[in-house]
Structure 1
């Protein structure tokens, strides 16, 4: 190897000026060479999956790489606890690209903030923040962007199918009645409208079980004393460490069965028993309860099931048509 930084020996007849120019040139050359090598090493270090980035299939000019397949496989395993066949994984990735492109054609183009919002919403439903969900995925070898791409495709596609085929996806009342005809219990055949005022008594984080129990006993005392929603509002608005929300209206079909049963046992004007939650001690004041013509739980379940069946059928046929018209080129198996 040539030592570019060694002392330059002048040839006979060369002037000191020429020698200095050569030395300067060689010094600059060596510096640039070192910088180029450092840059190359940095790029190689930043792309540990460089060898795993081989293109497997092109979908309308958009590549799907072996790394994309690896990431989606890990995501499927993480969310379903099952290992999907490689071709099934590739088909999912193809479908996602077709869905996103078709949605954009009809003006449904989710922004980065929209996708981040969907990601945060998923985390919230799992009892985690977006950052916590990202850390869980990363710990399992799944980049958060892999999940976000799936959310983007599903969200955009759902909006597209529902928007384009709104009329054909509607479920008729006759079909709903026929599908829910086997439900005969009162809670399934009758629907109520509830006027509610949720209440929370705050408990400082990290409080001992004794403090929590004491606050719960205080809530019980207040609950026994309250005889109307007006009294509940006056009482809890006067307490510094408590809050009462404005009246909200829910029907039987809107509520989970355990809360619905609890409200049906609670006299109008009274409050549900105190429950310890992350927020503190929570109760609900029942302001009114009346029979309504809205969907019963059985009808709501039947309606949702029939809609899902129609949606899946329409989604499948739509996607099949997109695949037939798409430019899908396999580079390797």
Structure 2
């Protein structure tokens, strides 16, 4: 095969995607063996065949692309526009590969899922020091920190949830009533009632008048109930912002309580917490699971309630551990507690002295003020029931009475409450009545012994009051020594 034929063959082989290149090369070799004497005629015929094949392969621009084949010269048909530049013959080379081989097709890369170049940052709260606190979920872990209490964080989420919990116990009756009245006065409310009436009439055509009125009344009550719920929700939402500051202070105190319990190694266990939750749920006539679901339906994370209960148990352990030895309760304290109980006034008997300062027949502001001043002077000079009779002689128009034993429930208010709260041997402040200015002195009492259960309850009540006083003092000390870092 001549050099020009070699060039032709290399040019055809170098074209990617040419499906007939191998067939043409094989046909060329066969024709060379079969017609060795007609090479010149064969070259012309082969050139025309190549032109047809290449033109059909490349479409309308086949003649132009055929000129790009190395070592191939193709004549342009008359109806095809001439190329802008004459083709150049490639120089003969001895190597098997052409000098300017076409670029090898790049292997397509496997497409992978595009990864975001944006770097994700996850904020993790610092490790807490308080014991028994569960790790917050991922949705809460990234919330902003409001304050650090001895390196123990309080997040904005916790403040919001605690404020919602505190708002549930808010007295919103006045605000709810005002909102309900405002909703009723709206023009849209009256229009809605008219629409309900028209709809009721349209749906009950042919029915009796009483039936239509009964249906309308039921729908009207349902509509009013919806307005009432809306008014309550609006009142509660209005009270919510006012509890944010209180919620933050309560959370700070709870952190200090839990830290103190951890320091004393008396933090509440999981069983203690579950037992307390079960007790609270029973008071609300539900089990623990149902109680948690009710709290969640109110838009409050039950973990907020759980944290609050945990802090209360921890602080109760702290106070009882540190201050139990300082509290002493005797039988007289229990009797006084029973006497001061509002639900047992009929069981208390008081030994009383009474001093009455009469008023003149013509009562004036000056005369009343003068008598009150004299009564207050007698109260300051009182030194016990033994000297009561002597005090009366120093004031003109004063009268002494030894009332003896009197049932507490036979004495009018507010004198009864003053006498029950007074100690034996005390004189209560003066009180103005129709008889004049009166002074009572408590000379003794006999309280109903009550059942053993009632006395135990009275002892527990006294003990709880003492614990509350001592606990507040200890909490003030912890707050004074705490390190608070607000963010």
Shorter chain as denominator, the TM-score bin is 0.5 to 0.7
2:301 aligned partner: 143
| Residue 301 of structure 1: how far off its partner (Å) | 4.6
- Establish whether residue 178 from structure 1 lines up as the match of residue 333 from structure 2: no
2:463 aligned partner: 307
1:217 aligned partner: none
Q: Which has the larger radius of gyration?
A: 2
1:155-174 to structure 2, matched below 5 A, reads 155-174=313-332
Q: For 2:259, what is the secondary structure of its paired residue? A: helix
1:322 aligned partner: 478
Whether contact under 8 Å (2:273, 2:310) holds in the other structure is: yes
Residue among 58, 67, 74 paired with 2:148 = 58
Q: Which has the higher contact order (CA 8 A, sep 6+)?
A: 1
Q: For 2:169, what is the secondary structure of its paired residue? A: helix
Whether contact under 8 Å (1:162, 1:169) holds in the other structure is: no
Q: For 2:154, what is the secondary structure of its paired residue? A: strand
| Residue 55 of structure 1: how far off its partner (Å) | 1.9
- Establish whether residue 114 from structure 1 lines up as the match of residue 272 from structure 2: yes
How far apart, CA to CA, are the structure 1 residues paired with 2:252 and 2:288?
27
Whether contact under 8 Å (2:166, 2:243) holds in the other structure is: no
Whether contact under 8 Å (1:56, 1:65) holds in the other structure is: yes
Whether contact under 8 Å (1:60, 1:328) holds in the other structure is: yes
| Residue 312 of structure 1: how far off its partner (Å) | 1.0
2:287 aligned partner: 129
How far apart, CA to CA, are the structure 1 residues paired with 2:346 and 2:171?
37
| Residue 131 of structure 1: how far off its partner (Å) | 1.3
Q: For 1:85, what is the secondary structure of its paired residue? A: helix
Whether contact under 8 Å (2:163, 2:246) holds in the other structure is: no
1:295 aligned partner: 452
Q: For 1:58, what is the secondary structure of its paired residue? A: strand
How far apart, CA to CA, are the structure 2 residues paired with 1:56 and 1:63?
7
Residue among 136, 158, 170 paired with 1:68 = 158
Residue among 155, 161, 169 paired with 1:79 = 169
Whether contact under 8 Å (2:146, 2:156) holds in the other structure is: yes
How far apart, CA to CA, are the structure 2 residues paired with 1:110 and 1:50?
24
Q: For 1:63, what is the secondary structure of its paired residue? A: strand
How far apart, CA to CA, are the structure 2 residues paired with 1:149 and 1:184?
40
Q: For residues 184 and 296 of structure 1, do their structure 2 counterparts lie closer, same or farther at Cα, with a shift above 3 Å needed?
A: farther
Q: For residues 174 and 165 of structure 1, do their structure 2 counterparts lie closer, same or farther at Cα, with a shift above 3 Å needed?
A: same
- Establish whether residue 91 from structure 1 lines up as the match of residue 249 from structure 2: yes
CA RMSD across the alignment: 3.4
Could you tell me the TM-score, scaled by structure 2's length?
0.37
Whether contact under 8 Å (1:57, 1:63) holds in the other structure is: yes
How far apart, CA to CA, are the structure 1 residues paired with 2:319 and 2:141?
37
Superposed CA deviations along residues 181-213 of structure 1, whole A, max 9, x for unmatched, are 466756x89xxxxxxxxxxxxxxxxxxxxxxxx
Could you tell me the TM-score, scaled by structure 1's length?
0.52
How far apart, CA to CA, are the structure 1 residues paired with 2:244 and 2:483?
20
- Unaligned segments of structure 2, at least 5 residues: 1-101, 122-136, 173-238, 350-448
Whether contact under 8 Å (1:180, 1:302) holds in the other structure is: yes
Q: For 1:108, what is the secondary structure of its paired residue? A: coil
